[in-house]
Chain A
Amino acid sequence: DIQMTQSPSSLSASVGDRVTITCRASQIISSYLNWYQQKPGKAPQLLIYGASNLHSGVPARFSGSESGTDFTLTISSLQPEDFATYYCHQSYSTPYTFGQGTKLEIK
């Protein structure tokens, strides 16, 4: 199985900060890496697919990048509605695995 190691597991930041969350795959997954945002009591929502493609309706302050088996989600300027839990997810091969999540909290 492909392991997805996400870091940090939690993060405190302020409105307006630039934030980076990373995810490392245990093997090559090409660009089959997706990012989701989940708010308490809500279903996850797709942010980024294919490592760097912004899903329809997602604000441009979200971006994704890749370098080998390392993937990054960046929020350029945190907004109040961005405080949530973020998950990476590989769709390269079954079983499709998720990172353990990063909880982004208000400082």
Chain B
Amino acid sequence: QVQLVESGGGVVQPGRSLRLSCAASGFTFSSYAMYWVRQAPGKGLEWVAVVSNDGSNKYHAASVRGRFTISRDNSKNTLYLQMNSLRADDTALYYCARGGSSGYYDFWGQGTLVTVSS
């Protein structure tokens, strides 16, 4: 069965960096676009970034562009989110999700919590 397991979250000071990982199993990872979506405490969902199945195309939300970078390693079935220059408003639960043919997210991980605080 499809499984997505995020890791790498934690408490970090403003301005510091963190790298999130999402380990995928149960499907052919290299065939799917992958996404990061975040949810601030008590708030709604916000798309963060997408990477194409082969890693050649990447798009980031304006709120993270220039600070966050999505990437993937298809040999390791793993999705990444490198987060630099973290700010308090980046505090959120970060989910990875598998992309369907028309851009829907058909499977989600359980999320990893990032807290940016001094």
Partner-B contacts on A (CB < 8 A): 31-32, 34, 36, 38, 43-46, 49-50, 55, 87, 89, 91-92, 94-101
**A43 vs B61: C-alpha distance in the bound complex, in angstroms?**
20
Question: Smallest Cβ distance from A44 to chain B, in angstroms?
Answer: 6
Is the beta-carbon distance between B45 and A87 smaller than 8 angstroms?
A: yes
Question: Smallest Cβ distance from A38 to chain B, in angstroms?
Answer: 8
The main secondary structure of chain A at its interface with chain B is loop
Is the beta-carbon distance between B108 and A98 smaller than 8 angstroms?
A: no
Among the listed A34, A94, A99, A101, which residue makes an inter-chain contact with B104, where contact means beta carbons less than 8 Å apart? A34
**A96 vs B36: C-alpha distance in the bound complex, in angstroms?**
11
In the complex, chain A residues whose CB is within 8 Å of the CB of B105: 34, 36, 44, 46, 89
B66-118 contacts to A, CB under 8 A, are 95, 100, 102-111
Whether A98 contacts B46 in the complex (CB less than 8 A), given A32-B102, A34-B104, A50-B104, comes out as yes
Question: Smallest Cβ distance from B116 to chain A, in angstroms?
Answer: 21
**A86 vs B13: C-alpha distance in the bound complex, in angstroms?**
33
Is the beta-carbon distance between B47 and A97 smaller than 8 angstroms?
A: yes
Q: A43-B109, A95-B59 are in contact. List 17 more A-B contacts (CB 8 A).
A: A34-B103, A34-B104, A34-B105, A36-B105, A43-B95, A44-B45, A44-B108, A46-B100, A46-B106, A49-B106, A50-B102, A91-B103, A94-B59, A96-B47, A97-B47, A98-B44, A100-B44
Is the beta-carbon distance between B108 and A45 smaller than 8 angstroms?
A: yes
Among the listed A31, A87, A91, A95, which residue makes an inter-chain contact with B44, where contact means beta carbons less than 8 Å apart? A87
Question: Smallest Cβ distance from A11 to chain B, in angstroms?
Answer: 16
In the complex, chain A residues whose CB is within 8 Å of the CB of B111: 43
In the complex, chain B residues whose CB is within 8 Å of the CB of A87: 44-45
In the complex, chain B residues whose CB is within 8 Å of the CB of A98: 44-47
Is the beta-carbon distance between A89 and B104 smaller than 8 angstroms?
A: yes
Question: Smallest Cβ distance from B57 to chain A, in angstroms?
Answer: 11
Is the beta-carbon distance between A95 and B102 smaller than 8 angstroms?
A: no
**A92 vs B104: C-alpha distance in the bound complex, in angstroms?**
10
Is the beta-carbon distance between A55 and B62 smaller than 8 angstroms?
A: no
Kindly report which residue of chain B lies nearest to residue A51, judged by CB atoms: B102
